[in-house]
Amino acid sequence: MAIAQFLLLLTISATAFPLHAQPGNTITPSKSIVDGQALISSNGAFEMGFFSPGNSKNRYLGIWYRNIPVQTVVWVANRDSPLNSSTGVLNLTSNGNLILLNDSGYVLWSTSTSNVTNPTVQLLDSGNLILTRGTSKSILWQSFDHPCDTLLPGMKLGWDSSTNFNRNLTSWRGASDPSPGDYTYKFDIHGVAEIFLWEKSARIYRSGPWNGQCFSDIPENTLFRSQFISTRDEDYFTYEVLDSSVISRVVLTKDGVIHHFNWDNTSNDWSDYWYVPKDPCDKYAYCGANGVCNASYSTSCQCLKGFDPKSTKHWNQRVYLGGCVRKTRLDFQSDTFSDLQNVKLPDTSNATADSDRSLDECREWCLKNFSCVAFAMSGESGCLTWTGDLVDIIVVNEGGDDLFFRLAASELDTKKGDSSKKQHAVAIVIPLLLGFLLFVFLGLFILKKKRKQGMLTDSCSKESRGKELELPLFDMSVIESATNNFYFNNKLGEGGFGPVYKGQLRDGQEIAVKRLSKDSVQGLDEFKNEVMLIARLQHRNLVRLLGCCIQREERMLIYEYMPNKSLDTLIFDKTKAALLSWQKRLDIILGIARGLLYLHQDSRLKIIHRDLKASNILLDKDMNPKISDFGTARIFRGDQNQENTRRVVGTYGYMSPEYAMDGIFSVKSDVFGFGVTILEILSGKKNRMVKQVEPHLNLLGYAWTLWKEDRCLELLDEAIECSCPVSKVMRCIQIGLLCVQEGSKDRPTMAEVVLMLSNEGVALPQPKKPGFCIERTSTEQHQSTVPEITHTLFEGR
Ligand SMILES: *[C@@H]1O[C@H](CO)[C@@H](O)[C@H](O)[C@H]1NC(C)=O
Ligand SMILES: *[C@@H]1O[C@H](CO)[C@@H](O)[C@H](O)[C@H]1NC(C)=O
Ligand SMILES: *[C@@H]1O[C@H](CO)[C@@H](O)[C@H](O)[C@H]1NC(C)=O
Ligand SMILES: *[C@@H]1O[C@H](CO)[C@@H](O)[C@H](O)[C@H]1NC(C)=O
Ligand SMILES: *[C@@H]1O[C@H](CO)[C@@H](O)[C@H](O)[C@H]1NC(C)=O
Ligand SMILES: *[C@@H]1O[C@H](CO)[C@@H](O)[C@H](O)[C@H]1NC(C)=O
Ligand SMILES: *[C@@H]1O[C@H](CO)[C@@H](O)[C@H](O)[C@H]1NC(C)=O
Ligand SMILES: *[C@@H]1O[C@H](CO)[C@@H](O)[C@H](O)[C@H]1NC(C)=O
Ligand SMILES: *[C@@H]1O[C@H](CO)[C@@H](O)[C@H](O)[C@H]1NC(C)=O
């Protein structure tokens, strides 16, 4: 590994980076830069010089990160006019024009500045190249004003009306070609400002209007401060990093995706903080005019209330672009408003803003003006009003606004009257229809099965509720022969709803088969839940479902086989635990964190696992952790942050206080389970089994006591070689304690956890007291005798 990295570094420096860098961060007219020399910012973070991107032989003048082993160029001067040899020279003329010349003295690029006495060019610590008069502070030209594909902290993306210049990000054409590609990310200043992603001249994605904190797709967080500045002369977006140790950039890639990357010292690569566009809903106007895109709705698009698809035919073929039209004409007298909560507000190119109106005044004003079709209150813009069609409305998880749209009063009323009747009708018709479809499907299936032998590739449509999932269906006989007819020696253990067997397919692939117990009532729901959920998910830290088998009474799920079993079989076993080095444990923790982050945030579905624990983490042959068992997981609606349940499912010791006591679960209850898992991985002790050491405490209480007494290293599993880095261990324990804090609001989000784990520079808050840190007595004690493997259930409240 180390050698490969060294070689990589070597090749980069040999081909792209100058070996004989000329130190210093300034150019003056007497000092030019030739290929092989470089400017280095005084903090050493950035370097400017000549480079060749990817496998191109051309030379470009650019700025890149100096301390990062992956060539990451953030700015290119001569994107359009490459040098074909290493003979370029960068000169500063005595009247202040910075020029790039080739062999024959031809100017390939320049700043076009002139009449500057005593000019100086300097590369700043922020990565900005500036041109000033002498040492004067006033900047005459700067690279930050001419972004390429990268937005660095402190850079502006937006409009400057004094120079009539719209600073935009434009993608590279290819990995080896920095010339401007087809994608551009820039402000549209018509109506209320928004940022659009363009592919050539077509809009393909929209940020949503600024609502005071962020654009609707940028997750709220405590690590970055995003700002939208609007003055008489300027409208722009900028962001800063609150923690200076985080290396961060936003880049528009050659494939037209906007990524916010942070440097991850652990994996030595850039890691994604967020990116857009993500799913079909992000595609601009995917549902057409007056349509609403809802990613958790099976067909994505719905019409606004009171609207019907313009073309039902197209709509049924899942072509939504035509959008929706009103069912009932508006009449100025009696119109009313219906509201839609937590959405990315429609395109504001034709909207107007008035920051002085209150919500009531806004409504009043919109009602009085017949051309106003909708209004909303949004951040500093205040009252927003729309005319014409409402385009690109999307249901979002977080950071959404409420939209009020005009509707004929009759629509609202009939809706109420009719809908219950309609719903009744629907309640009867749909099951009938489904039953019929099922019948047809089964018929087809049997027909097909008769024709084919062995493994069938069909969709488990019955269980996955007809969503366009292509989940392979395995034939019972294949599974029987793979598992030796469910031979007892093949049994791996008990999963959430039945036994799990190891098997081997004829082609040699090893599988794990989870078989639903026939007498398990609870099981069938969990089985369905698991199929529905996991078939939609794909991440390297989630276990992969290969298919299912539904035949006669049998219901089975087929997974890839994990040779290293579950995490609990390793960490709580003294001999096996010795094989888990400190670094391995850290990698496992980080892997689980990434998997959980994906569930919570990165797939647009927001999924709460609800039963995260060591026995639900499986390890592949390389010890990569994979989260499994989605039987009790829940999908949250777009706007939902928590849910209240009467049936608490999960495992004692891993459940957060608010969940175990009040049945309230949210992403923060998963964070709690994750925190317990971290402490177990580090200590090698089960949460409830610390009693030998401290009779009244569980692991959380024990860790907390040690933490307060500054003895937290004692928590560490003796099986771990003592050579591990003390500060890193302490840090990891601290993160574990932050995750198990009593108050759910105090616990970090998984995005924060991943950043804290992967970046040692990020400062950590002091943890507060953990929830459930004292071993619980009486009733709970009784509960905790239920074997780990099964879910503990009880009726809450
Ligand atoms: C660069 O281009 C010039 C003019 O087209 C040509 O004479 C020269 O051979 C080229 N150099 C290389 C290294 O290709
Ligand atoms: C560029 O600078 C070098 C060294 O300062 C000088 O020799 C050369 O003439 C300059 N070229 C131009 C075109 O100004
Ligand atoms: C210098 O650049 C010009 C314009 O691109 C080109 O015509 C000329 O051949 C180049 N000279 C060399 C030696 O590369
Ligand atoms: C150069 O700047 C001076 C003052 O800074 C001004 O008087 C002069 O007109 C300028 N010349 C040009 C060509 O812009
Ligand atoms: C983006 O900005 C560059 C200057 O940095 C300009 O040349 C280009 O025309 C702009 N692109 C669009 C699509 O506005
Ligand atoms: C989005 O779709 C889900 C699933 O059909 C539904 O429960 C939810 O209410 C929808 N959200 C909105 C705002 O329509
Ligand atoms: C804004 O108005 C223009 C001109 O009427 C129209 O072409 C465009 O489609 C409208 N945009 C939206 C998003 O409604
Ligand atoms: C209604 O609103 C439109 C668009 O905001 C505006 O152009 C028009 O003047 C308004 N009409 C009245 C009567 O206020
Ligand atoms: C991560 O790497 C950067 C660049 O080498 C360094 O400046 C920073 O201190 C490192 N952070 C940690 C936590 O190691």
CATH of the domain at 522: 3.30.200.20
The least confident of 174-178, 257-261, 491-495 is 491-495
> What is the predicted pLDDT for the residue at 210?
78
Write down which residue in 505, 530, 560 finishes a domain: 560
**Residue 428 pLDDT more than 50?**
no
Residue 433 lies in a domain: no
- Claim to verify: residue 92 and residue 189 sit in the same structural domain: no
| Structural domain contains residue 427 | no
Query: In the prediction, which pLDDT does 278 show?
Result: 82
Q: Which residue has the higher pLDDT, 295 or 350?
A: 350
Structural domain includes residue 424? no
How sure is the predictor about 132, in pLDDT bands with cuts at 50, 70 and 90?
Answer: very high
Cα(283)–Cα(302) distance, integer angstroms: 15
- Percentages of the chain per state (helix, strand, coil), in multiples of 5: 25, 30, 45
Nearest to 344 by CA among 604, 151, 596: 604
User: What integer pLDDT is reported at residue 496 of this predicted model?
Assistant: 62
Q: Average pLDDT of 105-110?
A: 95
pLDDT digits (tens, 9 = 90+) for 624-679: 999 998 878 888 766 677 777 766 777 777 888 888 888 888 899 999 999 999 99
- The CATH number linked to 620 is 1.10.510.10
Mean pLDDT calculated for residue range 484-511:
82
Per the document, the length of the chain is 797
Ligand 6 centroid distance, CA of 616 (Å): 30
Q: Which of 347, 611, 629, 717 does the annotation list as catalytic?
A: 611
Ligand 2, atom 13, lies closest to the CA of: 105
Pocket of ligand 1 (CB under 6 A): 84-85
Residues 617 and 679 in one domain: yes
- The ligand that comes nearest to the alpha carbon of residue 387 is 8
Amino acid letter for position 81: S
**What separation in Å is there between the alpha carbon of 682 and the centre of ligand 9?**
24
639 CA to centre of ligand 6 in angstroms? 9
- Alpha-carbon distance of 290 to 391, in angstroms, equals 6
DSSP H helical ranges for 549-663:
567-571, 574-577, 582-597, 657-662
Q: 777: Cβ–Cβ under 8 A, 6 or more apart, which residues?
A: none
Compute, in angstroms, the gap from residue 99 CA to the centroid of ligand 1.
20
Q: In this predicted model, which residue has the larger pLDDT, 687 or 393?
A: 393
| More confidently predicted of 460 and 248 | 248
* Residue 429 within a domain: no
pLDDT score of 465: 36
Confidence of residue 8 (pLDDT cuts 50, 70, 90): very low
Higher-confidence residue: 202 or 695?
Answer: 202
Look up the CATH number of the domain holding residue 182.
2.90.10.10
pLDDT exceeds cutoff 70 at 776: no
Q: Which of 262-266, 311-315, 354-358, 590-594 has the highest mean pLDDT?
A: 590-594
Same domain, 116 and 99: yes
- 696 and 582 belong to one structural domain: yes
134 and 152: one domain? Answer: no
Lowest mean pLDDT among 303-312, 329-338, 440-449, 547-556: 440-449
Q: Is there a domain that residue 449 lies in?
A: no
User: How far apart are the C-alpha atoms of 454 and 474, rounded to whole Å?
Assistant: 8
Answer whether residue 434 is part of any domain.
no
* Mean pLDDT (whole number) for 476-494: 83
Q: What is the predicted pLDDT for the residue at 226?
A: 82
Mean pLDDT on 322-341: 89
Residues 694 and 770 in one domain: yes
Q: DSSP string covering 696-738, please?
A: TB-HHHHHHHHHHTT-GGGGS-TTS-TTS-HHHHHHHHHHHHH
- Of 78 and 466, more confident: 78
The pLDDT value given to residue 690: 65
What pLDDT is attached to residue 423? 44
pLDDT, mean over the chain: 82
Ligand nearest to the CA of 763: 9
Percentage of the chain modeled with pLDDT above 70: 82
* Residues 248 and 113 both lie in one domain: no
Edge-first strand listing for the sheet containing 73-76: 38-40, 46-51, 60-65, 73-76
**Amino acid (1-letter code) at residue 389:** D
Q: Could you tell me if 317 and 263 lie in one domain?
A: no
Determine the atom of ligand 1 nearest the C-alpha atom of 85: 13
Pocket test for ligand 1, best of 84, 86, 101, 106 (most atoms within 8 A of CB): 84
Alpha carbon distance 607, 597 (integer Å): 10
Q: Using alpha carbons, list the distances in angstroms from residue 763 to 200, 491, 563, 675, 766.
A: 42, 46, 37, 18, 10
**CA–CA dist 89, 74 (Å, integer):** 20
Q: What is the pLDDT of residue 230?
A: 80
Domain co-membership, 483 together with 613: no
In this structure, what are the phi and psi dihedrals at residue 18, rounded to the nearest 5 degrees? -65, 140
Range of the domain at 746: 568-793
- Closest-lying ligand 8 atom to the alpha carbon of residue 369: 1
pLDDT at 781: 36
Helix (H) or strand (E) holding 62: strand 60-65
- Residue 446 neighbours by CB distance under 10 Å: 9
Predicted pLDDT at 216: 54
- Residue 755, pLDDT > 70, answer yes
- Whether residue 262 sits in one domain with residue 156: yes
Q: What is the CATH number of the domain that holds 356?
A: 3.50.4.10
CA distances from 513 to 116, 484, 560 (A): 75, 12, 9
Between CA 72 and CA 124 the distance in angstroms is 17
> Of 88, 119, 144, which residue constitutes the final position of a domain?
144
What residues are paired with 202 via a beta bridge? 199
Higher-pLDDT residue of 541, 775: 541
Would you state the pLDDT for residue 86? 94
Find out whether the beta carbon of 395 lies less than 6 Å from any atom of ligand 6: yes
551 vs 480, which has greater pLDDT? 480
The answer to whether position 241 is within a domain reads yes
State whether the beta carbon of 371 lies less than 6 angstroms from ligand 8.
Answer: yes
Cβ neighbors of 590 (< 8 A, separation 6 or more) are 266, 754, 757, 758
Q: What residue's CA is closest to ligand 9, atom 12?
A: 760
Q: Quick check: 87 pLDDT over 50? A: yes
pLDDT in tens, 583-630: 899 999 999 999 999 999 876 678 899 989 998 999 999 999 999 988
Determine contact, residues 647/629, Cβ cutoff 8 Å.
no
Ligand minimally distant from the alpha carbon of residue 179: 5
What is the number of structural domains in the chain?
5
Residue 765 lies in a domain: yes
Cβ-based neighbours of 504, under 8 Å, separated by 6 or more: 482, 510, 511
Q: Are residues 765 and 621 part of one domain?
A: yes
84 CA distance to ligand 1 middle (Å): 6
Task: Please tell me whether residues 301 and 402 are part of one structural domain.
Answer: yes
- Ligand having the closest approach to the CA of 100: 2
Sign (positive/negative) of CA torsion 755, 756, 761, 766?
positive
Contact criterion met (CB below 8 Å) for 403 and 378: no
Q: What is the CA radius of gyration of the chain?
A: 30
Nearest CA to ligand 9 atom 5: 67
For residue 233, the CA-to-ligand 6 centroid distance in Å is: 41
Mean of pLDDT values over 509-514: 91
Q: Are strands 107-110 and 647-650 parallel, antiparallel or unpaired?
A: unpaired
Domain boundary among 278, 298, 315: 278
Query: Is-catalytic flag, 611?
Result: yes
759 — pLDDT class (breaks 50, 70, 90): confident
The mean pLDDT of 683-690, rounded to a whole number, is: 80
Return the ligand 9 atom nearest residue 762 CA.
Answer: 13
* Pocket residues: Cβ below 6 A from ligand 2: 32, 89, 91, 101, 105
Pairing of strands 393-395, 491-495: unpaired
Q: What is the percent of the chain with per-residue pLDDT over 90, rounded to a whole number?
A: 45
